[in-house]
Structure formats: C-alpha cells, structure tokens
Amino acid sequence: MTRTFSILPILAFFLGTGLVLPLAGAQTPACDALTGEARSVARYLVSTEHPYDCCDETIEKCIKARPDCQLAVRLADFVCRRAAAGQDRTTIQRALQRRATSMMRPGRTVKTDLAKSPMVGCSKAGVKVVAYVCLRCPFCSKMVPELYREVTAGRLAGKVALHLRLFPIKSHTNSMEANLAVAAAASLGRMWEYLLLVYRHFDAFEVGRLAGWATEAGMGAAAFEGALTSAAVKKSLVASKKEGLRNGVVATPTLFINGRKYVGDLDVETLVDVIEEESEAVGR
C-alpha cells in the first residue's frame, strides 16, 4: 500500500504552538524580525514574486542561487518592511509592481532643464533625481527635507544629484505666493536654505512672513523684494510648471530618476533604497 505524506499537519502544529517557521532565503534584518501574520505574508511573497532584473527565479531562490543579485535582497527587505507595517499581500504586490514600473530599463524618459534646477548632492553622480514640488504641499514638506538630509549627509551622500523644480498647485492655498518666493530665493542663490526654512514653518505659514524668512535665510530685504517682483523670476516659475506638465506631472511630489518617472512608494526608506539600486545599476 502506498502512503501519502502531507505537510499540513506539520504546519498546523507550528501555527498552533506559536512557533515560527523560518523565512528561508530572505535573511535581512527586516525579515528576521518578523513574527506571526506579518511573517506569513512575507514568506508567501518572497517565495512567489520575482525580481524585475538580474535573476529569473523567485526572490527567495535568487537570494540562494545568485549572491551577486543584490536586487533580490533589496526586494526581500522591501517586502518585509511592508509586512511589518501591517500591509497585506495584495497591497505589497501592488507596491512591487509600481517599483518595477519605475525602475525597469530602458523605460520612457523625459527631459528636464537641469541647468535651471538648483542642485544639491554630487554633480558627477550617475544618478540624477528631479523632484517637482509645491511649497504648500503637506507631503512635500515632510519628504523633501528628509531626502535633502540623506543626499547631503546621509546614506545617499556622493551617490546622487538632486535637482528641484517648482510646480505650484492651485488647490494648495497660497501656492503661487510661496513658490514665487522660493523662485526669487533661487535667483539669489539661496533656494535650498529658504525652501527648507519655509517647510519648517509649514503649519504656521503666512504670506506676510515670506520677507522675514528671506532675511533669516541670509538674503537682503531689498534684494528679495526686487527678485519677488522680477519678470524673469515669474517667467522661471511659469517655465518650471509648464515643463512639469509636459513631463506628465499632475501632483506633488513627483520624482524622476534618471529621466524615468517614479511611481513607487515615496517614504524615505524606499527612496533611499531605489536610488541606491539605480546607483549600483549605472555603476555596472
């Protein structure tokens, strides 16, 4: 008589006793820390989803068979961070799809006038990130300073050139006034100092404080007022908005990584991860 063997009783035993099955092949700090349902979600995804580059197997099998495929490790960590945050399978699968859409080559690229985009970071870096932002965008006020810190003194230092383009949004109260003030600061060479200061006071924003913040950011009052009423400054702001529209920008923040529109998650951990991924790719 032939006997059949089923793993289900073993799974039931582990689940019933609260013991944790190993998350095979996905040894990253984020994965190793998972327990319970989050671990189950991550285990399923790393054993069924595939990287979009460097290996044709599942994430789990790629980690085991292709130690040179760093992307597989990145994606395992990506999955596990989201599982730890309570996201379900479908939500994480969609996040993986958006990331793949953003990062796969060659992809559709757009042109940006980088000469007119104030830059921080490493001008010689192989990764150019262009961010279209609005000074009255709540999400921009959180994301841009975090990304600035990573680019100037954090994990992305020396790896990326971050360019900023202004994109006023009508639905944001006082958007035109705020963005025009930053354009004026840019013409005086103090854009980043001024932008970060205005974002720091996001919840206490008043149009009447724009001139005072300019002085605090190191600009002379007369010079700032002159720039604020300059036709050239207004023209630069209009040009930035039109460029964004041509490139398919409809909301802020919108990022382009080496000319490809980024449609993935905008939390700083993911942004650091995908920019490091791009840096590794262009360096190969």
pLDDT value of position 253: 98
109 in a structural domain: no
138 and 220 inside one domain: yes
pLDDT value of position 155: 97
| CA distance linking residue 44 with residue 189, whole number of Å | 51
Q: Please report where in the chains the tokens 């009423």 appear, as a residue.
A: 229
74, 103, 132 - which closes a domain: 103
216 and 148 inside one domain: yes
58 in a structural domain: yes
pLDDT value of position 133: 98
144 and 36 inside one domain: no
185 and 59 inside one domain: no
Using H for helix, E for strand and C for coil, what is the string for the chain? CCCCCCCHHHHHHHHHHCCCCCCCCCCCHHHHCCCHHHHHHHHHHHCCCCCCCCCCCCHHHHHHHCCCCHHHHHHHHHHHHHHHCCCCHHHHHHHHHHHHHHHCCCCCECCCCHHHCCEEECCCCCEEEEEEECCCCHHHHHHHHHHHHHHHHCCCCCCEEEEEEECCCCCCCCHHHHHHHHHHHHHCCCHHHHHHHHHHCHHHCCHHHHHHHHHHCCCCHHHHHHHHCCHHHHHHHHHHHHHHHHCCCCCCCEEEECCEEECCCCCHHHHHHHHHHHHHHHHC
165 in a structural domain: yes
134 and 262 inside one domain: yes
273 and 143 inside one domain: yes
Tens digit of each residue's pLDDT (9 = 90 or more) over 174-209? 999 999 999 999 999 999 999 999 999 999 999 999
**Nearest alpha carbon to residue 182 among 252, 127, 112, 248:** 252
47, 74, 103 - which closes a domain: 103
Q: How many C-beta atoms lie closer than 10 Å to residue 8's C-beta?
A: 7
pLDDT value of position 105: 82
156 in a structural domain: yes
Contact between 125 and 114 under an 8 Å Cβ cutoff? The reply is no
Largest CA distance in the chain: 96
221 and 265 inside one domain: yes
Query: For residue 191, what are the domain limits?
Result: 114-283
29 and 164 inside one domain: no
128 and 59 inside one domain: no
177 and 147 inside one domain: yes
Domain count of the chain? 2
Q: Tens place of pLDDT for every residue, the chain, 284 residues?
A: 444 444 334 333 333 333 334 555 556 888 999 999 999 999 999 999 999 999 999 999 999 999 889 999 999 999 999 999 999 999 999 999 999 999 998 878 998 888 888 899 999 999 999 999 999 999 999 999 999 999 999 999 999 999 999 999 999 999 999 999 999 999 999 999 999 999 999 999 999 999 999 999 999 999 999 999 999 999 999 999 999 999 999 999 999 999 999 999 999 999 999 999 999 999 86
67 and 135 inside one domain: no
59, 80, 103 - which closes a domain: 103
228 in a structural domain: yes
108 in a structural domain: no
83 and 128 inside one domain: no
